Structure 1
Amino acid sequence: MPLWIPITIAAAFLQNVRSMLQKQLTGEMSALGATYVRFAYGLPVALLYLLGLTALTDAPRPEANLLFLVYAVIGGTAQIYGTVLLVALFAYRNFAVGTTYSKTETIQTALFGIIVLGDHLSLGAFAAILISLAGVLVISIAQAKLTLTAFWRSLGERPTLMGIGSGACYGVAAVCYRAASLSLNQPNFILSAAYTLAVILAIQTAMMTV
């Protein structure tokens, strides 16, 4: 089994746990506050992870370059906005509609990857993305107990636009993070990813602290 499969499954699971905890935080603080907690508390963990990998591997330490920093800042900013929009959705009575539309992140990420990185998706890969997106939307609609009529009528509502916007921001962030990591030309992709994560979290924490 390729390594990316268990990594993707674990990431999806942890992402759901994160969203659940962020929803609980909205009852105690603002959307900006809940977003700040995510980055500020994640930074020490990312730094420890990076230090541990650096100590255990013989690969050369990644060095940031201008292109890396540009992608890191753009991606980090996009993720902040995406998180604020997603957390703000929880304050709406019909937040389930907005969070359902935020699931369009997958297809938006693929499109941004084609535009920014020149990714080439095969017909089969694109079909798989559409099937996956359709599955997520169907499950989300069922869990939210929405009718298809109510779902389509909600297209012009504010929560819907916020959900689509959140998905777009996350899509931009994902593509920029990948581009930043690739710009390091690091042979050890795990170390490269850890370095990218730590730097971006530091940037995000600094931006939101100021």
Structure 2
Amino acid sequence: MQLWIWITLLAATSQNIRTAIQSHMKDSLGDYGASAIRFIYAIPFAWIWFLCIIRFTDQPFPNLNIEFLFWLSVGGLAQIIFTVLLVKLFSFKNFVVGVAFSKTEVLLAALIEAIFLSVAVNLQFGFAIFVGTIAVIMLSLRGNFVSLIEIKISLRSRSTIIGLLAGFTLSISVVAFRAAINSLDDGDFLLRASATGAIGVVGQAFVMLIYLALKRKDELRAVFRLWKFGIAAGLFAAIATAAWFIAFALHTAAPVRAIGQFELLISIGITLFIFRQKISKVELVGIVLLATSILLVILNS
């Protein structure tokens, strides 16, 4: 296989491991503490990577501007909200369904572009959104029983609302981070993306630390007491970010994002063999339909 495929698989795997660590630690750290560790402990790894890029590519530190800081702030806050929502979702749904809901980001971002940015819509896109909608309905169900009443109740449930909000906020963060990267004038894509990640994670860690110090002191103490898990989450978060950036630098976005859906397969394995959680037939069909709809949108772009 080509190098970019291996790197994409590394990115998807690392991202999934990071999320699994956060899910595992939510009982010990709380929802906000488990969310914070991916930012706080990622700082040294993100900066080591960024400084290595500067050193070995012989490129200067990019000049920051107001537009960059604006989009970085929007993306950073949206990603914080997404992370908290995702961790909360694990209280209602099993691991793979939580990850699957986060994947609705691709569908929601495409839908937003079609509605507000007048992006042309074709039959494949419309079919993808239809399939994705059916997938969300199936993922929201509380069991294997399907009826109009059950669908109505499930779509209004707290878990479904949290899941869709998680996907929505993730789509905002992706768009904002892309805008932040493009607003930098200096350096190649890898340098600009690495700078965005390194600078952004400092701001995100600061926001989370302030919030925990003011509102959730017990969770803050637990974050530092259980530092080994925090370092693991931060390391895999940094590896995932760096690997995604390298993959996007080596190849076009659509194939990379398509291969990245491999994360759903990893999530199924972690759900069954690590967390020992059950996956219903309806959930499994919903996951397959969601992956199909995402691939249709990606390949249509």
Q: By how many angstroms is 1:6 displaced? A: 5.0
Partner of 2:102: 102
Number of the residue aligned with 1:180: 180
- Residue number in structure 1 paired with 2:154: 154
**1:8 to partner: Cα distance:** 4.1
Q: Which whole-Å CA distance do the structure 2 matches of 1:208 and 1:159 have between them?
A: 23
Which residue does the alignment assign to 2:72?
72
Q: 1:111 to 1:181 in 2, by over 3 A?
A: farther
Query: Superposed, which structure 2 residues align to 1:55-204 within 5 Å?
Result: 55-92=55-92, 100-112=100-112, 123=122, 126=125, 130=129, 137=135, 141=139, 146=144, 148-149=146-147, 153-204=153-204
Give the deviation of 1:104 after TM superposition: 1.2
Length-normalised TM-score, structure 1: 0.80
TM normalised by structure 2 equals 0.58
Shift of 1:57: 0.7
Structure 1 equivalent of residue 235 of structure 2: none
Indicate how the Cα distance of structure 1 residues 131 and 6 shifts in structure 2: closer, same or farther if over 3 A, else same: farther
Q: What is the count of residue pairs matched by the alignment?
A: 205
Check whether the contact 2:114–2:121 (CA below 8 A) recurs between aligned residues.
Answer: no
**1:7/1:204 CA distance change after superposition, 3 Å:** same
Deviation string for 1:123-160 (max 9, x for gaps)?
A: 4884796599589x49x95xx97455456641100011
Please, which runs of 5 or more residues in structure 2 have no aligned partner? 211-301
Determine the structure 2 residue equivalent to 1:43: 43
Is the radius of gyration larger for structure 1 or structure 2? 2
**2-structure distance, mates of 1:95, 1:17:** 11
Question: CA 1:125 to 1:86, structure 2 compared with 1: closer, same or farther past 3 Å?
Answer: same
Deviation of 1:22 after TM superposition, in Å, equals: 1.0
- CA RMSD between the two structures: 3.4
The percent of aligned pairs where both chains have the same amino acid is 35
Give the corresponding residue for 1:12. Answer: 12
**Deviation beyond 3 Å, 4+ runs, structure 1:** 1-10, 93-102, 111-116, 118-135, 144-153
CA contact (8 A) 1:113 1:175 kept: no
